[in-house]
Every structure is written in structure tokens, then in C-alpha cells.
Amino acid sequence: MPDVYRKSSEHAYPTEGSLVDSFGRKAAKLRISVTDRCNFRCDFCMPTHPIWLDHKEVLTFEEITRVASILASMGINTIRLSGGEPLVRKDIEKLVIMLTKVKGIESVSMTSNGALLKEKAAILKENGLKGVTVSLHSLKPELYHTITGTKNMFERVLAGIEESKKAGLKLKINCVVTRGCNDNEILDFAKLAHDSNAIVRFIEYMPFDGTKIWDVERVVSGREIIQKIQTAYDLLELPKEYGSTSKVYKFKDSSKGEIGTITSMTEPFCGDCDRIRLKADGKIVPCMFSLDEYDVKSLLREGASDSEIARSIRKNFWSKSPGVETMMKTNVQMIHIRPMHTIGG
């Protein structure tokens, strides 16, 4: 978004009401990275030799819940837990209860690699989790293990998906598409959505890989994905929901399945972005495509009041970057912003 759309001065942030940036975009959704750690090593996300945060640097459940309730008082109503892998954080189901009790929070969901879902799905549902998005980047076990840097996980993840359905969690499948790797499985994933009434979201490969192997040539655009699916299925594009990061398509026949594309790279959706992110290290990130991040952990640990913390968040959120297109024009190479496992997608 060019600067000309800026609603008012960079310094005139509001001290009450909704959490809003200087382009008039209101925050409604909070993504919390509860840990930078993970039991997988997906090549598009994790560095080869990750250096984990020290445990004392990571926000406690109480600190996370306090930030969430301060944000809820400014209009945030939806939370997604991510990571790293949220299920490797000990007792994560307890955080789910704590967050669902925050006044104003209507939905808590999670994005997970699914490896520990078989054990955790039922308790997560019982504790108030609405839904889980499971990342599944290939339907071929061997390729799945190559992409995720794991062994023997494929069947486990499928079992986790089944357990989540059984528990009554709303389920979505996320697939990051990379050219020359899994792009020949697009139709297989579409068939999965069609035949089993699943919700499958194809994500464009973003330059936040820990190993810095990202290359524009490896990005498969949402448009190309949909064109490929339309060679086999008739699709109907649904109107885009405000703030949604995906374009959603239904099948024109009687299937209840759904296809989505998250076109962050080729058709970014920054104009109605309603997200704010909280990293495990206690930094607030208004825009994942910007280097800007702001520390709330020090405020929490130095005894700041809720209103002092709220004021600091408001001030920093006000200067949220316009988004992807602007970043593409800067000298900052997006590949160097931060690896995805630290921000949670």
C-alpha cells in the first residue's frame, strides 16, 4: 500500500478504542508463536542448525494470557496458536483453557504439524480449541519425510488428522507448494478435498526459510494452482471474507470440500490485513513482512501496568508496515527478515 493511503500522521496514534494502524487497518486476529522449537525440520522453514531460545526468554502462559487480554480489550477476538510446533510446548492444552477464558476472545485455534495430535486432539477440544490446521506437504510418505526432515511421521500425522476429526475439531490441511518438489501433487490434494470433503489450503512459498534457499523460481502462484485444479474440477470462487488471507473455492458439484490459496507473494492481501503477531520471545510483530518488532516482555517483567503496555502496543502498531509490496521495493532482502519457525506463519 503506497504511503498516499496513510490515514493520518505517523505519530497520531489513538489512545483508546480499537487497535489500529496509520492506514486505518484494525487488528482483530492474534497469532501467537508459543515456542520457536519444533520436532520437524521442514526445509522451507527451519535452519539446519537452529539455535533455540533459552527457556527463560520464552513468555510464560501467564504472560501470554496477559498480553492476549490486553489485546482483547482493544478488539482482538480470534487467536491462533502456532510455533515452532505448538504441541511440543509442555501442557499447551492448559494455555488453551486460559485463552478461551479471556473476555472478548471468541475463537482459539491452532496450526500444527500434526505429529502429536493423536495424543492431544481430544484434550485440546475438551479445553476449548475450535479447530486445527494440519500442515501436510505431500501425500507420498517418502517425499513427506524429505520435506519435513523426519522419519516415520507420515502415518502418525494421518492418525492425528483422524483423531482431530473424531474429537470434533474443525480441520484444515495446509500445503506449502514448491516448484520441482510437490507441485505435481496439486491434483492429488484437490482430489483429497473433493472426495473427503476436506478443506485444503495451498500456501505460496514465502522467503522465510531458515536455510535461505528460497528462490522466486520455486514459488508456484495461487493462480497457477487453481488453473491446474480446474483441468479436473469445476470450481466456484467465493467472495473474499474481510481480513482473510485466503481465496476460497468450492467445487461446483455436490462435494463439500474446499480449496483455498494463500497468495502472499503474488497477490498479497495487505490492504485489509487484520493480524498482529506475538513471538515466543515476547516481541510483537505488526507485519511479518517487515523487520519491525517490539518488545513487550520487558514491560511485563518490569511491572508495567496494563494501560502502559496497551499504550506501547498502540504506539508501535500504529507504524505497521503497509506490507509486502512496499517491502519488495526496499533494500531489505525478505529472505533475511526472520525464519518462519520464529513467527508461526
Contacts to ligand SF4 by CB under 6 A: 38, 40-42, 45-46, 83-85, 113, 135, 148, 340-341
Contact of residue 46 among ligand SF4, ligand SAM, none (CB under 5-8 Å per partner type): ligand SF4
Closest CA to 134 of 147, 152, 108, 116: 116
Q: Which of 13, 23, 44, 61 binds ligand SAM (CB under 6 A)?
A: 44
Per-residue binding string, ligand SAM, 227-266, x by CB under 6 A, is ----------------------------------------
Binding window for ligand SAM (CB under 6 A); candidates: 64-72, 185-193, 203-211, 219-227: 203-211
Nearer to ligand SAM, 70 or 116 (CB): 116
If the CB atoms of residues 28 and 129 are measured against ligand SF4, the closer one turns out to be 129
Max Cα-Cα span within the chain: 59
Using the contact rule CB under 6 A, the part of the chain among 58-66, 92-100, 199-207, 282-290 near ligand SAM is 199-207
Contact track, ligand SAM, 149-188, x by CB under 6 A: -------------------------x-x------------
Which residue lies nearer to ligand SF4 by CB, 208 or 233?
A: 208
- When the beta carbons of 38 and 278 are compared against ligand SAM, the nearer one is 38
Q: Which three cell numbers stand for residue 114?
A: 500434526
Give the one entry of ligand SF4, ligand SAM, none that residue 65 binds, where binding means its C-beta sits below a cut-off of 5 to 8 angstroms depending on kind.
none
Closer residue to ligand SF4 (CB): 288 or 340: 340
Residue from 144, 154, 189, 208 touching ligand SAM (CB under 6 A): that is 208
340 binds ligand SAM (CB under 6 A): yes
Query: CB of 132: closest distance to ligand SAM in angstroms?
Result: 9
Q: Are strands 29-33 and 78-82 parallel, antiparallel or unpaired?
A: parallel
> How many residues touch ligand SAM (CB under 6 A)?
21
Nearest-angstrom CA–CA distance, 6 and 80:
28
Q: Please enumerate in sequence order all residues whose Cβ is within 8 A of that of 215, keeping only pairs 6 or more positions apart, or say none.
A: none
| Four-residue CA torsion sign, 303, 304, 305, 310 | negative
Among ligand SAM, ligand SF4, none, partner that 221 touches (CB below 5 to 8 angstroms by kind): none
Q: Is 111 in the site for ligand SAM (CB under 6 A)?
A: yes
What is the distance between the alpha carbons of residues 132 and 140, in angstroms, rounded to a whole number? 22
Interface positions, 269-328, toward ligand SAM (CB under 6 A): none
| Grid coordinates given for 132 | 486445527
Least CB distance to ligand SAM at residue 341 (A): 5
What distance in Å separates the CA atoms of residue 295 and residue 207, rounded to the nearest whole number? 24
Q: Where are the beta strands (DSSP E) in 229-330?
A: 235-237, 247-251, 258-262, 275-278, 283-285, 294-295
33 Cβ neighbours under 8 A, 6+ residues apart: 82, 83, 84, 277, 278, 279, 280, 342, 343, 344
| Residue 143 to residue 42: CA distance in whole angstroms | 11
Question: Which residues sit opposite 84 in a β-bridge?
Answer: none
> Which stretch of DSSP H or E encloses residue 165?
helix 154-167
Residue 209 interacts with ligand SAM (CB under 6 A): yes or no = yes
CB of 344 to ligand SAM, least distance (A): 5
Can you read off the three cell numbers belonging to residue 126?
A: 475438551
Rounded to the nearest whole angstrom, what is the least distance from the CB of residue 7 to ligand SF4 in the complex?
A: 35
- Min dist. Cβ of residue 14 to ligand SF4 (A): 35
Q: Classify burial at 276, counting beta carbons within 10 Å of its beta carbon; exposed 0-12, middle 13-18, buried 19 or more.
A: buried
Q: How many CA atoms lie within 13 A of 340 on its CB side?
A: 20
Give the footprint of ligand SAM on this chain (CB under 6 A). 38, 44-45, 82-83, 85, 111-113, 135, 174, 176, 203, 205-206, 208-209, 340-341, 344-345
